[in-house]
Amino acid sequence: MTFTLAIVGRPNVGKSTLFNRLVGKRLALVDDQPGVTRDLREGEARLGDLRFTVIDTAGLEEVTDDSLQGRMRRLTERAVAEADACLFVIDARMGVTPTDEVFADILRRANARVILAANKSEGRAGQAGVFEAYGLGLGEPVPLSAEHGEGMAELHAALMPIADAMAERRAVIADEAPVTDVDVIDGEDAPDWAPRPGRPLQVAVVGRPNAGKSTLINRILGEERLLTGPEAGITRDSISLSLDWDGVPVRLFDTAGMRKKAKVQDRLEKMSVADGLRAVKFAEVVVVLLDAAIPFETQDLRIADLAEREGRAVVVAVNKWDLEADKQGRLTQLREEFERLLPQLKGAPLVAVSARTGRGLDRLREAVVSAHAVWNRRVPTAALNRWLGEMVTAHPPPAPGGRRIKLRYATQAKTRPPGFVVMCSHPDRMPEAYKRYLVNGLRLDFDMPGTPIRLTLRGQGDRNPYKGRTKSTPSRLRKHLGKPPHKG
């Protein structure tokens, strides 16, 4: 049976470590300092024959105001209310604290299915805490060690009644890296890469801190699913969320804000940035979110260039557009800056949005779907070679050393992103300027704006038909050797 399990508890009791243990991957950031997890992170858990969705939550704090900790608590309480079961984790080495007692009472009222787990119970240091856990009134505690993998069999036994009681099955989609660099073979049908529930379109939203990434995703979802606020750097983990975006199955990745490398000194922030870079590799389309007040900062350009080098389709979105006065003039200026500062992404969609009001989200969806379609585009070999002949006629390749480079034919070798191979003489002498001329021609003539294009030049070797043959014996030597003269 499939069900949803929310892991809750005080900060630093080992919730994220247990989450990673259940999903079998290091998806959640783990550190010794409390309060690392802030958002809700979902994953596909496997425990024996059980398959279920597990949710890692922020540590419960005894605050109810609008502070960061208060918003984190409300988000956790919401996850508890929506989950099928709740796993309440305490620190067996510290024993039961007054805060544990408060939250145990809250969980009894909020969720009918609560399992008590005493983490860090390995060795004698945690035995006393396991016995104290009986006093919380949540039934028999499950002693376990998330770090060492102990107690998983006992946890499996505690979850089995919940799995058997579930009548509704829920589809769980695993986080998988997208298929890239797909070989193209003429004469074969192109694979269908249209998004569907089993393989959604994977979109990562990246940008500098406080650009509004989480707010934008909440607006797309239509609910306050991610933690937001005026503080910069709230998001730490890369959170993936599945939704149906106006008929298109999509998996959205919210990432931590990426500052300049020289400013990232804290170990936790380094882990967050690394997690964000990993999300870019998991995505098919990368939405680079800019702040309308300070767009195209150096870090924005680096992030966009990273997505292009990873071979992902790129969409540039300018957030906080509701604060702009001269919208038309400002948009024209941004397009000019975009073409000048990011020539490698020439023609990529530039969309103005407002995460606060929801303006421009329909155009953003269209841009994402269009960029994904271009990313998968295939060009017939015949059309490609006609194009190559026209390009050579318009601007012949250079002639280094007095011998002109000959471009013989071209073919598309890969998709996701599009990759082309041009057979030519002396590929090592072809200047970069002429390669850019060919790439820009591909973008313009085959309608592939913004997507990364890989162009490879290959030589055909020496086409001399006599290469490798031995020379014939001269006639004056044939007489000496007694061979008859050659007739012909």
CATH classification at residue 418:
3.30.300.20
**CB 432, CB 440: distance < 8 Å:** no
Residue 123 lies in a domain: yes
Is 177 annotated as belonging to a binding site?
no
Is 385 annotated as belonging to a binding site?
no
Residue 94 lies in a domain: yes
Is 211 annotated as belonging to a binding site?
yes
Provide the domain limits for residue 427.
381-463
Last-in-domain residue among 324, 357, 376: 376
Is 210 annotated as belonging to a binding site?
yes
DSSP assignment letter at 227 = -
Residue 472 lies in a domain: no
Is 401 annotated as belonging to a binding site?
no
Q: Are residues 455 and 418 in the same domain?
A: yes
Q: Are residues 85 and 153 in the same domain?
A: yes
**CB 420, CB 410: distance < 8 Å:** yes
Average pLDDT over residues 84-96: 88
Q: Are residues 146 and 70 in the same domain?
A: yes
Last-in-domain residue among 337, 353, 376: 376
Whats the size of the chain, residue-wise? 488
Average pLDDT over residues 459-485: 56
Residue 181 lies in a domain: no
pTM, two decimals, is 0.62
Average pLDDT over all residues of the chain:
80
Is 192 annotated as belonging to a binding site?
no
Q: Are residues 297 and 417 in the same domain?
A: no
Q: Are residues 408 and 301 in the same domain?
A: no
How many of the other CB atoms lie within 10 Å of CB of 40? Answer: 22
Q: Are residues 407 and 338 in the same domain?
A: no
Is 160 annotated as belonging to a binding site?
no
Is 119 annotated as belonging to a binding site?
yes
Give bridge partners of residue 412 from the DSSP assignment: 420
Is 104 annotated as belonging to a binding site?
no
Residue 345 lies in a domain: yes
Is 487 annotated as belonging to a binding site?
no
Q: What is the pLDDT of residues 349-369, one digit of tens each?
A: 999 999 989 999 999 999 999
Residue 482 lies in a domain: no
Is 320 annotated as belonging to a binding site?
yes
- Residue 462 above 60 pLDDT? no
Is 62 annotated as belonging to a binding site?
no
Q: Are residues 143 and 103 in the same domain?
A: yes
Residue 86 lies in a domain: yes
Last-in-domain residue among 376, 406, 436: 376
Number of folded domains that form the chain: 3
What's the rounded Cα separation, in Å, for the pair 207 and 431? 34
Is 195 annotated as belonging to a binding site?
no
Q: Are residues 129 and 228 in the same domain?
A: no
Backbone φ and ψ for 404, nearest 5 degrees, come out as -70, 135
Q: Are residues 88 and 167 in the same domain?
A: yes
Going by their DSSP bridges, the two strands 419-424 and 407-415 should be labelled as antiparallel
What's the rounded Cα separation, in Å, for the pair 309 and 19? 32
Q: What is the pLDDT of residues 377-434, one digit of tens each?
A: 999 999 999 999 999 999 999 988 888 899 999 999 999 999 999 999 889 899 999 9
Is 488 annotated as belonging to a binding site?
no
Is 105 annotated as belonging to a binding site?
no
Is 425 annotated as belonging to a binding site?
no
Q: Are residues 16 and 53 in the same domain?
A: yes
Q: Are residues 282 and 357 in the same domain?
A: yes
Is 208 annotated as belonging to a binding site?
yes
pLDDT above 90 as % of the chain = 29
CATH number where 273 lies: 3.40.50.300
- Residue 268 above 50 pLDDT? no
Residue 179 lies in a domain: no
Q: Are residues 307 and 443 in the same domain?
A: no
Is 322 annotated as belonging to a binding site?
yes
Is 11 annotated as belonging to a binding site?
yes
CA-based R_g, the chain, Å: 30
Peptide bond into 249 cis (omega under 30): no
Is 196 annotated as belonging to a binding site?
no
Is 255 annotated as belonging to a binding site?
yes
What does 380-428 look like in DSSP terms, one character per residue?
A: -HHHHHHHHHHHHHHSPPP-GGG----EEEEEEEEETTTEEEEEES-GG
Is 209 annotated as belonging to a binding site?
yes
